[in-house]
Structure 1
């Protein structure tokens, strides 16, 4: 069987993300507490880590994360079912939904962030400090320029 080499940046980045996700899933599987972490995807951890403890309006959180309001609403509903966020109405405007992490949600975000750090450390060891730092620096630069 011949290995297929990524011939464009999207394929290359996709392959890299798939590998990082597999490593993260393996790290999550090794953690017993909190058990709900096994039901959470990387995108859920990202949302939890970007949601302030006192909460944020769905529309503002969607902008912060780069999702549509509807997609974020679905994510929030899933995380609410898992007990990781709660949804309350803004007392100043009852039409507005505020999403905030529960204590369990904050713990999952902290644990998930720590596991991501462990995966990054393993990848740093695999590719070397210089190359890892260069990769991260380039990704930060590309992301910042993409927003501009």
Structure 2
């Protein structure tokens, strides 16, 4: 039986996954630790990272469900479920497109935009901690390489 502490695969997909898991863990820990200490909306403590990501990728003026699903990389049905959950928390609202009443537009509410701003601040803090942990030069190079990879084909 394998020990949990044994290193896993070291291919790029695994390494990026480990990095994302660590960043998510630290952002969620910061979210829960600071929600009561700052002007962070309490609802932020109860969100999953995927909810925060969806809110942050939704333009303030809104976007068609199908277009947002493509942007985020989800099915339209899954995105609709996420949107409904966020609507229930008062973070997102759904309206009909005036140009085509069959089309649903989702957009963050004022509270949703506040959550996006608060989570962006926490992400910046977590990134700064990771930058300190691995060294500024290494972190900056990693960011530059990831940005270049995304620009070339991501």
Same fold (TM over 0.5): yes
TM-score, with structure 2 as normaliser: 0.87
Task: Give the Cα separation in 2 of the matches to 1:72 and 1:87.
Answer: 12
Tell me the residue number matched to 1:24: 27
Tell me the residue number matched to 1:138: 145
Matches within 5 A, 1:64-143: 64-143=71-150
Task: Give the Cα separation in 1 of the matches to 2:113 and 2:8.
Answer: 39
Task: Give the Cα separation in 1 of the matches to 2:90 and 2:84.
Answer: 10
Task: Give the Cα separation in 1 of the matches to 2:150 and 2:61.
Answer: 27
C-alpha displacement of 1:123: 0.4
Task: Give the Cα separation in 1 of the matches to 2:27 and 2:114.
Answer: 17
Residue correspondences, number: 147
Tell me the residue number matched to 2:62: 55
CA RMSD of aligned residues (A): 1.6
C-alpha displacement of 1:91: 2.1
Q: Which runs of 4+ in 1 moved over 3 A?
A: none
Task: Give the Cα separation in 2 of the matches to 1:22 and 1:46.
Answer: 14
Q: Which runs of 5+ in 1 are unaligned?
A: none
C-alpha displacement of 1:5: 4.2
Task: Give the Cα separation in 2 of the matches to 1:134 and 1:99.
Answer: 36
Task: Tell me, yes or no, if the aligned pair for 1:86 and 1:99 is still in contact at 8 Å.
Answer: yes
TM-score, with structure 1 as normaliser: 0.91
